[in-house]
Chains A and B, each alone.
Chain A
């Protein structure tokens, strides 16, 4: 018997709640992949926090049929989804960890519900990717067009090549066999729509109303979010602290999980 149980919030967002702590820590993945982005990071918090993981609609194992191109053409709808998830799980006093574009989604959600988050942790945030006269975002507008072309070019190969083979791989014990076959294999149209929503967004004006303590974690070298952008973000929020990591690249949560976790733990203490 079929039903629309997939519409239920847990299945809609593929929500996973782990850990033995009380205070919720909500991990929001960025553009590109899904909650597996935090695979190496969240174990550092499982003992003391209630770890909440999810996939945005259109990513990972979320219910793709709930995706709407109109709705998800701006980050605002993603922020609404964060509120839906928190509301559904009755989360309060939430520590929000947002990677990449999710840092700004967290900012938008925090402005919509100013008492929901007690702290914001932003990994590689950027309120504006495109340069303008008085601001360095790191990209010019042609970059986003080229990204869309790249996504198009990988169209035919995508579904197979970007999906990992399920492995019982002994040298990667962290990856169980359950690693979702859909990791990083988003529908190209969804990927393009999310890319547009992400890289064309401008959330600079939204930062100043964020009053809760914010930790901005910034790789020392990151082409997606250069150090200047991290500095800008830390200064623009009311109560921001910038921490430059030794790690490089846009995903220190994957490439340097220990260093990333330590920086977060230090901030939370």
Chain B
């Protein structure tokens, strides 16, 4: 080697050894092959202690070792280098050196296996800055979360007193009042319902913001959902003199898998808005198919109205929280201004978006597209099915109410009085336990949030009593069932009612559980062969054609009074006979308008007897006329529909005789 070369080599080696950064090379197993002087000084080792004796991994803390194996080394192997990754390196004296590592792969060459060269920078300063930044960021995030939690808690807490307001409002409404008082009670009820809507929206929004909402994947029936929405809004739109149309294209599959609640929430917001901002004309809900694969389908939902419209410059703003097109809008139409924000966020959760087009004084159109999985499952359950056929008499029922809040007890008592259900009330868990030692109950209504002994503890203690009658425990609190599910199960609580609740929600729970409890009783009765018949009892067993209609709603309204139920059935029978005539006339004349009128007219009767199949047949008929279907297709439809009419009429006649 020439003298000059050897001088240059020495200079290069010196530079390597004494450069202001650390250098280390290692092999495939992370064994250290060479290390420079600088790094040795930083780490407090001598070269001899490290070279071919220690692996680079062993200089990292254990967390760093896992990180190296799972993230860092795979990346080097895939791309040949990694830049600027931070590692804690353990010095000989066990203190921590903050290093930033760059690695380059040296491919195998001249019989030398692959190796890796790392350059390490001392970033102690930067590490401290970063630590400060992370701390500040975490603090800011914690603050923001605290605010969101506060909002959620407040909304949550408001629901409890709201329960009392709503309950009293409901009760007040049912007492005999002067015209003035009736108006006040109505205002009270409307305002508290409005407030509840606002609070629920706030809760939803805070849950979305906190990413606490996830999309469900459950089977559901789209036609049912559309029908339900139509029924729900028909009254409101009729009151305003607006036509409500729901058009579901025939090629849209009925049975889907997705999140029906979120879809309902989005559509509810849009339809509610459309009706609110429309003074005359119509609101149309249209569902059509955009794309379809073997397993999935993309549907387009459009809600359009002929309302006041939105000025162009406000189109962006309407999606912001609490924003409506103008202040006057709020004064005139009310509303929280949260519905659209929530709908938009729910759609974002679906990876979709809400599109809007609008013309001032002509109307607005909101649309969105969603993908759903298709399913063939015909047995998609609907919410109401779970309580069907259990319409037992509730008068024998004994209920224990446990709540520390006298107002809530009072309201529950008023409802139970109305339904002629016997009850006892307790203002604490302890009191409830001592009552249970004396008396037995079918069902316990239990508040979860009570001082001293919470609802959960009370339930656990009740279960520990091993009561022979083993009462059903239904808890209530401002939390939703989903939020407290696991705690409920653990405490042995059977069901949950979230506050504030409407009287019918409570009634349904009683019905649901007393039905079950009663069946058990009946089974026990069979052991002692004692037969009792009550002539005046409302028939408990459904007619054998349960799919065509259902008397559940009438039974509830009749409050188990046979004469009322008979009256309801008679008037429905009369109405249906004339509807059937109207139907045949309209169909034979191919008159869409008359048929639409009939559908409109018959909505409430059909709703009460839950004749869902008849509803869809009527809608199909309308669609058939609309699409100018062939005569044979129409005749077939007419036959089916008439058959359905007959089935219901026959069944109702039979019910009347019973």
Enumerate chain A interface residues (CB-CB to B < 8 A).
1-8, 30-33, 36-37, 39, 63, 65, 68-71, 88, 100, 139, 142-157, 161-162, 164-165, 167, 169, 171-172, 175, 179, 183-184, 195, 199, 221-224, 248-251, 254-255
Contact = CB atoms under 8 A, between A and B. Distances in A.
B52 interface: no
A5 B371 contact: yes
Interface string B62-78: 11111101110111011
Contact of B214 (A7, A71, A145): A71
Contacts of A30: 70
Contacts of A179: 78-79
A194 to B, nearest CB: 10
A100 to B, nearest CB: 7
Interface of B: 28-30, 57, 61-67, 69-71, 73-75, 77-80, 82-88, 107, 127, 130, 133-134, 211, 214, 290, 293, 295-296, 298, 347, 349-353, 355, 369-371
A255 B214 contact: no
A157 B85 contact: yes
Contacts of A167: 79
A220 B369 CA distance: 53
Contacts of A100: 70
B69 A250 contact: yes
B65 A69 contact: no
A32 B28 contact: no
A251 B74 contact: yes
Interface of B is mostly: mixed
A32 B63 contact: no
B84 A161 contact: yes
B369 A3 contact: yes
B352 A2 contact: yes
Contacts of A88: 295
B71 A147 contact: no
A249 B28 contact: yes
B78 A148 contact: no
A161 to B, nearest CB: 5
Contact of B28 (A37, A155, A165, A248): A248
Contact of A8 (B73, B82, B107, B371): B371
Nearest to B298: A3
B75 A183 contact: yes
Contacts of B211: 68-69
Contacts, number: 153
A161 B83 contact: yes
B654 to A, nearest CB: 46
Contact of B352 (A3, A144, A161): A3
A161 B87 CA distance: 13
A155 B57 CA distance: 21
A85 to B, nearest CB: 13
B75 A184 contact: yes
B78 A250 contact: no
Contacts of A68: 211, 214
Contacts of B295: 88
Given A68-B211, A172-B80, A184-B75, 20 more contacts: A1-B355, A3-B298, A3-B352, A4-B352, A33-B70, A33-B71, A33-B74, A36-B78, A143-B63, A148-B63, A149-B63, A150-B61, A150-B88, A151-B63, A157-B86, A162-B85, A165-B79, A169-B80, A222-B69, A255-B28
Nearest to B101: A161
Contacts of B134: 152, 155-156
A154 B57 CA distance: 17
Contacts of B107: 171
Contacts of B133: 156
Contacts of A37: 74
Contacts of A154: 67, 85-86
B96 to A, nearest CB: 11
A161 B29 contact: no
A66 B353 CA distance: 15
A145 B63 contact: yes
Given A150-B63, A150-B88, A162 B78 contact: no
Given A3-B352, A31-B70, A150 B130 contact: no
A42 to B, nearest CB: 14
A175 B62 contact: no
A115 to B, nearest CB: 21
Contacts of A153: 86, 88, 127, 130
6 contacts: A3-B369, A153-B88, A155-B130, A223-B57, A251-B73, A251-B74
A153 B123 CA distance: 12
B64 to A, nearest CB: 5
Contacts of A5: 298, 351, 371
B61 A171 contact: no
B85 A161 contact: yes
B351 A143 contact: no
Nearest to A223: B65
Contacts of B70: 30-33, 100, 224, 250
A184 B57 CA distance: 19
A183 B78 contact: yes
Given A65-B351, A147-B66, A167-B79, A32 B369 contact: no
B69 A184 contact: no
Contacts of B30: 249
Query: For A3, A171, A224, A254, which residue has the most chain B Cβ atoms within 10 angstroms?
Result: A3
Q: Which 4 A-B pairs have the closest CB atoms?
A: A146-B63, A32-B70, A147-B63, A4-B351
A75 B369 CA distance: 32
B273 to A, nearest CB: 21
Contacts of B63: 143-151
B100 to A, nearest CB: 8
A156 B130 contact: yes
Contacts of A65: 349, 351
A48 to B, nearest CB: 25
A7 B351 contact: yes
Given A33-B71, A68-B211, A155-B134, A2 B353 contact: yes
Nearest to A150: B63
A148 B88 CA distance: 13
Contacts of B296: 8
Contacts of B73: 249-251
A192 to B, nearest CB: 11
Contacts of B77: 251, 254-255
Nearest to A225: B69
A221 B29 contact: yes
Nearest to A70: B214
A159 B65 CA distance: 20
Given A154-B85, A184-B74, A224-B70, A7 B79 contact: no
A161 B78 contact: no
A179 B79 CA distance: 9
A17 to B, nearest CB: 15
Q: Which of A150, A152, A164, A179 has the most CB of B within 10 A?
A: A150
Contacts of A144: 63
B85 A249 contact: no
Nearest to A186: B71
A4 to B, nearest CB: 4
A4 B214 CA distance: 15
Nearest to A194: B70
Most chain-A CB neighbours within 10 Å: which of B64, B67, B107, B355? B67
B370 A4 contact: yes
Contact of B64 (A139, A146, A251): A146
Nearest to A65: B351
Contacts of B87: 150
A32 B88 CA distance: 19
B29 A39 contact: no
Contacts of B74: 32-33, 37, 184, 251, 254
B78 A224 contact: no
Nearest to A161: B84
A164 B371 contact: no
Nearest to B213: A68
A63 B78 contact: no
Contacts of B64: 146, 150
A157 B84 contact: yes
